[in-house]
Chain A
């Protein structure tokens, strides 16, 4: 996964500046596209580190920031239920983006070249609506950042951190208005390294790649408050960690990304990179994760994705909301349906990210999350 975040971040960089300029400037589609291509144009990447070859991941250091790369994120999505069967989807993401390759030389604790953005969303499946919130901050003066001992990544009072030291269990705390999450996360599988040992190539040019690993199955429990009520919830989450300086090629406009946790213990990630001409980039791929964390890449020609149904958002974008996904090697034929259609993130950068159900042969077979951009 990847680009998804990628270009969200690329866009973000510009839109934050936009935001600062306009207050409530809502970039339209053309601005998005422009921003993506600009972020990926390569002009302003000088001085940043590039993901050129596989690296040796080291922990806990790789849990925190790699400021020499331009973009980075901590991305958690999940499906939760309370004891009475009320169902929720949630997403929280901390994005880091460098404004320049090197930090300014200054004695001020406010001085930084790092900007942060965070998104928080909750889908009350049986309730009235989908909620999405965003925040921005500089990565200095204690306002936002990522650090060890104990591990934490935070923006103001939204925080993902270890309860002690740097290891799991981690705790996710985020609240705003009448919305609050307080979740405890414990991995059920090992980390899986995407692409070539964690080097995920996004377009053919060397360096247009990211370092990328995932924790595909996190046991999750805690409380979720919404509209003045507190729910005790539990379920499964998925976490992505990725950092890079440049990825997308010019003809890539957007993507559809799927993370699915199947009831039989398998996890599936696939994404399709959509091209300007309406086609799909052959670098699109996926990952098949066994219950024992063994995993293998799903190449572009080993899966088929077919849209079954679409939905048009109030903002005017038409998104797919039901799909058929066929994994040829695994011989699985999955039907994916959004738990509700309106899960558009109508924020500074507009995209659709939401909880889905997975069916196989008409029977419930799992749950997951889908992200779609540039519609």
Chain B
């Protein structure tokens, strides 16, 4: 070990805070990135595995129309020689608080497809076929649910309760089975009420010839799809969500980078005397550069490793939220394993170390330039910083300009959108130190007038310590602006959705079949539900709806067939098209309404045509309107029930919208309706529209809960930044302060000065964060959100979010100022002076 290293280590021992904060900063930044990465990849991996488990080795799948496939098709295909084929019935069931995919299989046809039955022996399968209540789970899942072979338990299926028996346990660790329950196809048909129907037929097709032959055998409305492309399409559904999370985590790392820069430059500044002494002893500038970089590397390494550990922990927590959101919004997901890949680890390490090294470049360069003479004063550096200001302004403006150009660039690329966002943020961050300088200078007078000498000294202290105050403020401002930007975006989104819900929920009461899900065919109401409701005196009119998945050349799209009541059309808000004529066209022509996300995703507009696979074969439909709709981020096609009945053989209705007569009170009407449908053959849900609105907003808030947490974590990173910067600032100034004390300044005044200075930095950060926050929200709403989902929303800036940001900045700064302030106040001037 060199003398040099020893000198540094001794120095760090004396002042451990500095290096600890550096490490903590790196660790937090890396932790957030890794946590989000882990949560995202675990969720995706779990879903991929469960898809693989569900689809097995099938190369293709035959899928039916909205009502599923006629089950006789399977025997026909087998007789036509398609012997590597297996029928599947699937749907969602709940038990013990978890949602499972109930997979109804034909064990005799399974051998070519799904391996996980490996481990079944003897009686198990035969009982699975012959016992109507038999189901199977993997050993892991059974253990998780605390079930043993032979146990009876209750499933909740679309509001019904069914008792089943765990007939045997699959002796496999395959995590893909975690969310899957197996049953014989016959019993799955009964449990899921799918008599006569299949959800799909899995096939292994040897070549394109077989595929072509298969196509000629399929009835209209049935479609064959390559398994892989279908799985990919399913995975794509949640892609935008995952990208958005990743971007949030990168923002945290960016804030972390500022923090690292901050601590590194401080460590150089603080040791100027030491470094200058080393120069005097003959060390070259290059050696000092290497020294600082090595130190940074160590900080980066240690910080990143700690960050990895912390990230794994935070990741587990985030994973639950991601899983929840994905299950709410996209598909049922069961994740029991953290997916920690080498790639995630490497990426976290690399990001942490690279960010640290990048942040240390400036300080290292600074260290290399130190001349022995500089040891006497710090003013050269601050002069250097002063000289840097025009460059910062120039670079900042150029970056922001580039960002602005990218924003305007006509593209649908989400990544490009994020690049633009980051350029804008980075450019703005570079402008913060000059802005802070100007602010501090301009405040010197007013602060002197208000707080006297202490105020003046505080303001001067900021401008005199720019090399540290600048980056610290930038980091805090960045973090706060992120909370403002994301806050405004979420708030705008929330308001928009709330307004939309208020408008779209035209009916007073809704009656619906429980259990709508992304798998299998969605449930319908019992046939006589409508007539019973219509017979009630309180009911004026009834509209109906049925939401189904329909294949199109561009993939599966959701279609809602609406039989409107007179007021139904009022619930639509048109982005394009004419509401007055649209419903006429919907009823009488081959016309549809599409929602914004679909229009965006498929680049469709008014009067374009959309091809849908109907039970009469593929048909083209004219788009007569693009409407706002926030219920599906993949988009929704709205058709008139009359058209749906023309083209699809699916008479079921999934929900009724009930309009009460004028003057009818809601609560007694609800009771009447509940009583009317109470003894239907299957349970139905009766919900007031207000309740639906509340539940929808609950889901909305749950979806964005993870966003709030990432915001807070980012502020946490910034808080540490400002804390370390302030401590550094104050501790370095201990001599000055000691002189002040010696000249008669009281401890209280000194503490007040530190508080003022902290407050000043916080205020500056808060104020500077506002324009950036608003800019970010603008980009998030107009670019990121639009490119992710296609939703338009009204920009809704609430003063609350802005004030919260300001308070956050002030609070963080003041909290960070407490310790240095106390220290200053308590310090005895003689000691500090003696240290010289």
Residues from chain A with Cβ under 8 Å of B112 in the complex:
23
Most buried by A among B75, B80, B83, B131: B75
Q: Which A residues are CB-close (under 8 A) to B184?
A: 110-111
When C-beta atoms are compared, the residue in chain B nearest to A100 turns out to be: B130
B78 at the interface (CB under 8 A from A): yes
Asked whether B567 is an interface residue with its Cβ less than 8 Å from the other chain, the reply is no
B72 neighbours in A (Cβ, 8 Å)? 141-142
Query: Would you call A157 and B78 a contact (CB within 8 A)?
Result: yes
CB of A143 closer than 8 Å to a CB of B:
yes
Q: Is A137 an interface residue (CB 8 A)?
A: yes
**Nearest Cβ in chain B — how far from A112, in angstroms?**
7
Contacts A108-B187, A108-B189 given; indicate if A21 touches B108 (C-beta within 8 A). Answer: no
- Say whether A106 contacts B120, CB under 8 Å: no
Of B75, B126, B195, the contact of A100 (CB 8 Å cutoff): B126
CB closest chain-B residue, reference A20: B107
| Residues in chain A near residue B83, CB distance under 8 A | 135, 156, 176
Q: Is the CB of B130 within 8 A of A17?
A: no
A14 to B122, CA, bound (A): 6
| 0 or 1 for each of A242-253: is its CB under 8 Å from B? (1 = yes) | 000000000000
Known A109-B71, A138-B129; contact A23-B118, beta-carbon cutoff 8 A = yes
User: By the criterion CB–CB under 8 Å, are A111 and B186 in contact?
Assistant: yes
Q: Which residues of B contact A22 (CB under 8 A)?
A: 118
- From A17, A110, A135, B125 is in contact (CB under 8 Å) with A17
Of B80, B108, B120, most buried by chain A (CB within 10 Å of CB) is B108
User: With an 8 A cutoff between CB atoms, is B132 at the interface?
Assistant: yes
* Residues of the A chain whose Cβ atoms lie less than 8 Å from the Cβ of B121: 17-18, 21
Q: Are B74 and A112 in contact (CB under 8 A)?
A: no
Do B186 and A110 touch (CB < 8 A)? Answer: yes
Q: Does A363 contact B (CB under 8 A)?
A: no
Q: Tell me if A143 and B186 are in contact (CB < 8 A).
A: no
- Say yes or no for B106: interface residue by CB 8 A criterion: yes
A16 contacts across to B, CB distance below 8 A: 108
Contact: B79 with A99, CB < 8 Å? no
A107 within 8 A of B: yes
CB <8 Å contact, B186 and A21:
no
A67 at the interface (CB under 8 A from B): no
B109 contacts A by Cβ under 8 Å: yes
Chain A, residue nearest B196 (CB): A109
Is B117's beta carbon under 8 Å from chain A? yes
- A140 at the binding interface (Cβ < 8 Å): yes
Measured between beta carbons, the chain A residues less than 8 angstroms from B642 are: none
Q: Is the CB of B186 within 8 A of A136?
A: no
- Chain A residues near B118 (CB, 8 Å)? 21-23
B129 to chain A, nearest CB (A): 6
A115 interfacial by beta-carbon distance below 8 Å = yes
Residues of B within 8 A of A127 (CB): none
Q: Is the CB of B71 within 8 A of A136?
A: no
Q: In the complex, what distance in Å separates the CA atom of A20 from the CA atom of B113?
A: 10
- Chain A contacts for B109, CB-based, 8 A: 136-137
| Bound: A23/B71 CA distance, A | 25
Interfacial chain B residues near A100, Cβ < 8 Å: 126-127, 130
- Alpha-carbon distance between A21 and B81 when the two chains are bound, in angstroms: 24
Min distance, Cβ B603 to any Cβ of chain A, angstroms: 44
In the complex, what distance in Å separates the CA atom of A107 from the CA atom of B111?
A: 26
Determine if B299 is an interface residue (Cβ-Cβ < 8 Å).
Answer: no
B81 x A157 contact (CB < 8 A): yes
The answer to whether B129 touches A106, judged by C-beta atoms less than 8 angstroms apart, is no
Complex partner residue of B108 from A13, A137, A142, CB under 8 angstroms:
A137
CB closest residue in chain A, given B124: A17
Complex CA gap A14/B118 in Å reads: 14
Question: Is there a chain A Cβ closer than 8 Å to B190's Cβ?
Answer: yes
CA distance A109 to B106 in the complex (A): 12
Q: Which among B110, B129, B196 is the interface contact of A113 at CB below 8 angstroms?
A: B129
Within the complex, the shortest CB–CB distance from B184 to chain A, in Å, comes to 8
> Is the CB of B119 closer than 8 A to any CB of chain A?
yes
- Answer yes or no: A19 CB below 8 A from chain B CBs: yes
Indicate whether B115 reaches chain A with its CB closer than 8 angstroms. Answer: yes
Distance between A242 CB and nearest chain B CB, rounded to angstroms: 22
Q: Among the interface residues A135, A136, A143, A176, which one has the most CB atoms of the partner chain B within 10 A?
A: A143
Asked if B135 lies at the interface with its beta carbon under 8 angstroms from chain A, I say no
- Shortest beta-carbon distance, B430 to chain A, in Å? 62
Q: Write the chain A residue with the least CB distance to B185.
A: A110
Against B, the Cβ 8 Å flags (1 = close, 0 = not) of A2-31 are 000000000001101111111110000000
* B120 in contact with A21 (CB, 8 Å): yes
Measured CB to CB, the closest approach of chain B to A171, in angstroms, equals: 15
User: B120 → chain A, closest Cβ, in Å?
Assistant: 4
Query: Is there contact, CB below 8 Å, between B120 and A141?
Result: no
Could you say which of B71, B74, B111, B189 has the most chain A C-beta atoms within 10 Å of its C-beta?
B111
If A111-B187, A142-B72 touch, does A106 touch B132 (CB 8 Å cutoff)?
yes
How far is the CB of A203 from the nearest CB of chain B, in Å?
A: 23
Q: Is the CB of A99 within 8 A of B195?
A: no
Q: Mark each residue of chain B from 65 to 89: 1 if its CB lies under 8 Å from any CB of chain A, else 0.
A: 0000001101100111101000000
Q: Given the known A-B contacts A20-B125, A108-B190, A112-B186, are A141 and B108 also in contact in the complex, defined by CB atoms under 8 Å?
A: no
* A331 at the B interface (CB under 8 A): no
Closest to B75 in A: A142
Roughly how many angstroms separate A99 CA and B124 CA in the complex, as a whole number?
11
Q: How far is the CA of A19 from the CA of B117 in the complex (A)?
A: 10
Q: Does A104 contact B (CB under 8 A)?
A: yes
Which of A23, A106, A137, A142 is B187 in contact with, Cβ under 8 Å?
A: A106
Q: In the complex, are the beta carbons of A20 and B117 less than 8 A apart?
A: yes
Contacts of B81 in A (CB 8 A): 157, 175-176
Q: Which of A39-85 contact B (CB under 8 A)?
A: none
In the complex, the 10 A-B pairs of residues with the closest C-beta atoms, listed nearest first: A110-B186, A111-B186, A108-B186, A100-B130, A142-B75, A99-B126, A21-B120, A108-B189, A157-B79, A156-B78
5 more contacts with CB within 8 A, not counting A20-B125, A109-B195, A111-B186, are: A21-B117, A21-B120, A108-B185, A111-B187, A136-B108
Jot down 8 A-B pairs with beta carbons below 8 A, ordered by A.
Answer: A99-B129, A100-B126, A109-B195, A109-B196, A110-B184, A113-B130, A142-B72, A156-B78
